[in-house]
Chains A and B, each alone.
Chain A
Amino acid sequence: METDVLVIGGGPAGTWAAVSAARRGARVILADKGFCGTSGATAPSGTAVWYVPPDVAARGKAKATREELGGFLAHHDWMDAVLETTFALVNELGERGYPFPRDVEGRLRQNSLQGPEYMRLMRKLVKGAGARILDHSPALELLIDADGAVAGARGIDRRTHAGWQIKAKSVVIATGGCAFLSRALGTNNLTGDGYLMAAEAGAELSGMEFSNAYAIAPVFSSVTKTLFYEWASFTDASGAAITGAASKGGRSVIARALQQGAVFAQLDRADGEVRTAMRAAQPNFFLPFDRAGIDPFTQPFEITLRLEGTVRGTGGLRLVDQSAATTVPGLYAAGDAATRELICGGFTGGGSHNAAWAMSSGAWAGEGAAAFARQCRAGLARTAAPARGPALAGGRGHAFDPAALIKAVQAEVFPFDTNYFRSGDGLARSLTRLDSLWRTVRAADGARPEDALKAREAVAMLATARWMYRSGLARTESRGMHRRYDLTALDPAQRHHVTSGGLDEVWTGRVPADGQPLEAAA
């Protein structure tokens, strides 16, 4: 197959990228690992959106909210651009039939989206724009031409295990973040595949130390809706209140308590109005409770913290300009696959910011990739070879077991002692083990087609963990969500982005937080 723009990933960022590229006249193929419309973290839940009317005071206030929390790493020009683009795109959703609610005064409220509804509409818009969708078609590796530019991808159909290859003039990575198969809602397809593929092509990452977001969930359930726990009280197994435990500003207390024993929550601080609003805001929150026969407002239920990694962290592929270009020619990145430090620094991008970022960066990446495709003189004639990373080539006679590797990586990234509460020693010890896992993987044979997806997911998780912890070691301070108990203070001299990359040898570097002026889109 051949196309101008190949979009990998069909969540909010990928769908906006496909729409935006197709509207600019590019031929577009969107390949989703699952089903475009249900894939990704947005589809099964509801999300607030950073939708702020073009009012100077309101926008100024909106920008200020996460500035300090994010450790002053966000860029004002990027925030302005995201607010502007998001405002226009959300309005467009309304025009195209998204059923935004009205408040009691009859005013339209456009600052939240319901996942199933939103993503069903996005699928329709992608098709309407003339892009072709390939469902259940995970990309496994990128094609790279003789000049080092990205020229398409290879993947498989996960149902038939048949391989596919698409030659493209440019590629958008919109594969989401990495939540390490923690069973947080909607994250099973989010294993860092795009980071791995892009890094194999030489792309850089940024902010990977901001990758330890943990969300509150009932211990049995996938449903993470941290907002609702603002109305929760937290108790230990004896029923005693846990001092300082809170969804916001007290989640580390919950983590500490979980290290001691079971923790229970109940949403007993929600009054009648809040309870009704919760049911109307997020019906899916209540499904597990209703089905398990628990009343979350009156009955304590055991909770856990599920790692959401870079899905709610802010690290991802480094962008060099507002066309969402990465450091590799022909390669663009959008949504959670790209760094969100640009708009929320080192604090969580979860909720409203991520949703706004997905739309905006998606639309920019589509535009950027379409422009690159137009200018691509070599066109599709250029010879392109697959990157041939771990699990796709090799062959020193020993296979590796993806399930075992996944468990081994999880054992390094789930524990609060290593990832939530970080220290130089802890990160370094973990890296020794992760690096040794990498060498094993490097020496292994290519996976069989039926194992290729799981094998590449496992490799991507391993690579992601190594960039995370190397970046965490390089940031010798506490900033944003990156908390080091051996270095608890923020160091004003480290107001920079930690970049990273590399596979066999993982490297880190730095880019000043305000040193690079925003370049205009190509």
Chain B
Amino acid sequence: MIELISADHCTSCDICVAVCPTSVFDAVPGCTPVIARQDDCQTCFLCEVYCPADALYVGPDAEKPDAAEVAWDAVETLRGSYRRAIGWTRDTRGLRAMDDTHVLLGRLK
């Protein structure tokens, strides 16, 4: 589930507010959005790939929020990892066409 927005990195562009399919965030004028309805989060990780500042962290657990408060420092290394993996950052664009599904389907035959 969505766990964190880093106020240090967030540019208040409100893209996450617009793109979240279950409307989890509320915009705060001039400020970092708030996670207003964490329960509605479907753990799809899509806010992470749309955030241009890599300022969001979605935790692995889809059933419940993290028991302990997640500290941004603890997840700093994961910052933007999904966005890079699918080639949605400037330096990873080549990965957009990296889809080995055909290799897997071939191996099953």
List the interface of chain A (C-beta within 8 A of B). 33-35, 37-40, 43-44, 46, 48, 99-103, 109, 111-112, 114, 116-117, 135-136, 158-159, 183, 185-189, 219-223, 227-228, 230, 273-274, 276-278, 280-284, 287-292
- Tell me, rounded to whole Å, the shortest Cβ–Cβ distance linking B61 to chain A: 5
Say whether, besides A37-B19, A116-B46, A291 and B101 are in contact (CB < 8 Å). Answer: no
Once the chains are docked, how many angstroms separate the CA of A46 from the CA of B100?
11
Other contacts beyond A230-B108, A280-B98: 13, CB < 8 A: A39-B21, A40-B21, A102-B97, A159-B23, A183-B63, A186-B21, A223-B62, A277-B101, A281-B99, A283-B86, A284-B82, A287-B81, A288-B60
What is the chain A residue whose CB lies nearest that of B82?
A: A287
A273 and B103 alpha carbons, distance in the complex (Å): 9
Collect the chain B residues with CB atoms within 8 Å of residue A283's CB: 82, 85-86
- The answer to whether B103 and A222 have CB atoms under 8 Å apart is no
A103 and B19 contacting across the interface, CB-CB below 8 Å: no
Could you give 26 example pairs across A and B, Cβ below 8 Å?
A35-B18, A35-B21, A37-B19, A38-B44, A44-B44, A48-B101, A48-B105, A101-B98, A101-B100, A103-B103, A111-B105, A112-B101, A112-B102, A136-B23, A159-B23, A185-B42, A185-B44, A189-B42, A221-B61, A227-B104, A228-B104, A273-B103, A281-B103, A288-B60, A290-B78, A291-B59
> What are the residues of chain B within 8 A of A228 when measuring CB–CB?
104
Interface string of B4-47 (1 = CB under 8 A from A): 00000000000000111111001000000000000010111110
A183 touches B42 (CB 8 A): yes
Q: Which residues of A contact B26 (CB under 8 A)?
A: 159
> What's the Cα separation between A284 and B85 when bound, in Å?
9
Residues of the A chain whose Cβ atoms lie less than 8 Å from the Cβ of B20: 34-35, 38
Contacts of B58 in A (CB 8 A): 287
- Which residues of B, 59-109, contact A by the 8 Å Cβ criterion? 59-63, 75, 78, 81-82, 85-88, 96-105, 107-108
Which chain A residues lie closer than 8 Å to B61 at the CB level? 220-221, 288, 292
Question: A35 near B86 (CB under 8 angstroms)?
Answer: no
Are A101 and B19 neighbours in the complex by a CB distance under 8 Å? no
Interchain CA distance A112-B104 in the complex, whole Å: 11
Q: Which of A39, A112, A116 contacts B86 (CB 8 A)?
A: A116
CB distance from A113 to the nearest CB of B (A): 8
Specify which chain A residues have a CB less than 8 angstroms from the CB of B96 in the assembled complex. 99, 114, 117
Chain B residues within an 8 Å CB radius of A274: 103-104, 107
Point out residues on B near A: beta carbons under 8 Å.
18-23, 26, 40, 42-46, 49-50, 58-63, 75, 78, 81-82, 85-88, 96-105, 107-108
Give CA–CA (A141, B18) in the complex, Å. Answer: 24
Q: Closest A-chain residue to B44, C-beta based?
A: A44
User: What CA separation (Å) do A505 and B98 show in the bound complex?
Assistant: 51
With a CB–CB cut-off of 8 A, which chain B residues contact A183? 42-43, 62-63
